[in-house]
Amino acid sequence: MSTTNDAGPVFDGVKIGRPATGALLAAGYRTLSDLPDDLDALLTLHGVGPKAVRMLREALSSAP
């Protein structure tokens, strides 16, 4: 069942999953450039795990 609060599994073009996307948006992050320099700090957010952080790190390293 989908709700209007469901942000979907994609955060700024990176498919990290619904829980991680929701956690980042709830914490005020809207784009990859909004994320902190230390991505490991995101692990404290409920719903963000090591795989999501790895995928975000890869996306940031390949960004122009």
pLDDT at 5: 64
pLDDT tens across the length of the chain (64 residues): 444 467 789 999 999 999 999 999 999 999 999 999 999 999 999 999 999 999 999 999 997 7
One DSSP character per residue, 20-45 reads: HHHHHHHTT--SGGGS-S-GGGGGGS
Q: What is the pLDDT of residue 14?
A: 97
Predicted pLDDT of residue 2:
43
| pLDDT of 63 | 75
The span from the CA of 3 to the CA of 57, in Å, is: 29
